[in-house]
Amino acid sequence: MSSVIQEVASTRRTAGERRKGDGRMAALFLAPWFVGLFLITAGPMAASLYLSFTDYDLLSAPTWIGVDNYVRMFEDPRLLQSLQVTFTYVFVSVPLQLAAALALALVLDKGMRGLALYRSVYYLPSLLGGSVAIAILWRQIFGADGLVNQVLALVGIEGTGWVSHPDHALNTLIILNVWTFGAPMVIFLAGLRQIPRMYYEAASIDGAGRLRQFWSITVPMLTPIVFFNLVLQLINAFQNFTQAFVVSGGNGGPADSTLLYTLYLYRKGFADLDMGYASAMAWFLLLIIGGMTLVNFLASKYWVHYDD
């Protein structure tokens, strides 16, 4: 360590040499991250790739079975169900979540008093939403005798047990995900601040109304931020686990209606002792997420506006 520092100190002569020294320094500081990457991420990933071609029950040594696990996936009705649930969950909750985030960001951007407080309050669900406590709370709120039904009863509607009904359980999870809009909201807020005020001044001098300003200035200027949020939240939503695990009691119920892909993967690996298949599922999920992200980037050419 100290020799590196001495070396860095003694090589401050030419710009070229200095750059070289900085590189070494950077490598040194990055080293812990690389160790983490290889030991905690890349190593297990390589192992799971290998395991995905084996029959592995965790209790005895894995045996090589080639692509059997991947072939089995095409004949597994529960896998299809889990994909259906996951895609519904992702494609309904992410747009709603981003819409909610943008709407709140627009309101907060007006510069009201106590902005910092409101910003924190609305960000709070994002911090809590993935937690076990909130998921348990959700079970209570949407239970047959829960808060939601008590409110509904006031206006004369008799609700059902939302979490325990196969037709509604997924919707409660979607609402929970939408509710955690704080992170994209903060990013939207930062994006709104970036838009030069002079555009709005010029537009209002030209006689453009608020709505016109929103559609012609705010929206196009904000598209890179929307894109960024979309990519992140899609990937996040595909990987969601805790909420579904807790709300469904750990098994994707009732009747597989909340069987998110990650939940099924977990059950296959640890409950059914089918880790080879679970590893294959993990790689298939990687392909799905990679594919979705690629499509996202390709499509972005047509709607994302970069101001340069």
Contact residues for other proteins, defined by CB under 8 A: 39-40, 43-44, 46-48, 51, 57-62, 132, 143-144, 160-161, 163-166, 242, 245-246, 249-251, 253-256, 266-267, 269-275
Nearer to other proteins, 69 or 218 (CB): 69
CA distance to 97, 250, 256, 289, per residue, from 253 (Å): 24, 8, 5, 24
Nearer to other proteins, 100 or 278 (CB): 278
Nearer to other proteins, 270 or 306 (CB): 270
Q: What's the closest the beta carbon of residue 197 comes to other proteins, in angstroms?
A: 46
CA 279/CA 273 separation, integer angstroms: 12
Longest dimension (CA), the chain: 82
Q: What's the closest the beta carbon of residue 238 comes to other proteins, in angstroms?
A: 17
Nearer to other proteins, 97 or 149 (CB): 149
Closest to 132 measured CA to CA, from 238, 239, 244: 244
Residue 42, number of CB atoms within 10 A of its CB? 12
Report residue 174: phi and psi, to 5°.
-65, -45
Nearer to other proteins, 57 or 109 (CB): 57
Q: What's the closest the beta carbon of residue 143 comes to other proteins, in angstroms?
A: 6
Q: What's the closest the beta carbon of residue 44 comes to other proteins, in angstroms?
A: 4
Q: What's the closest the beta carbon of residue 287 comes to other proteins, in angstroms?
A: 19
Nearer to other proteins, 17 or 145 (CB): 145
Whether residue 240 contacts residue 18, with contact meaning beta carbons closer than 8 Å, is answered with no
Under 8 Å CB-to-CB from 110, ≥6 apart: which residues? none
Under 8 Å CB-to-CB from 265, ≥6 apart: which residues? 278, 281, 282, 285
Q: What's the closest the beta carbon of residue 88 comes to other proteins, in angstroms?
A: 17
CA 134/CA 61 separation, integer angstroms: 39
CA 260/CA 87 separation, integer angstroms: 9
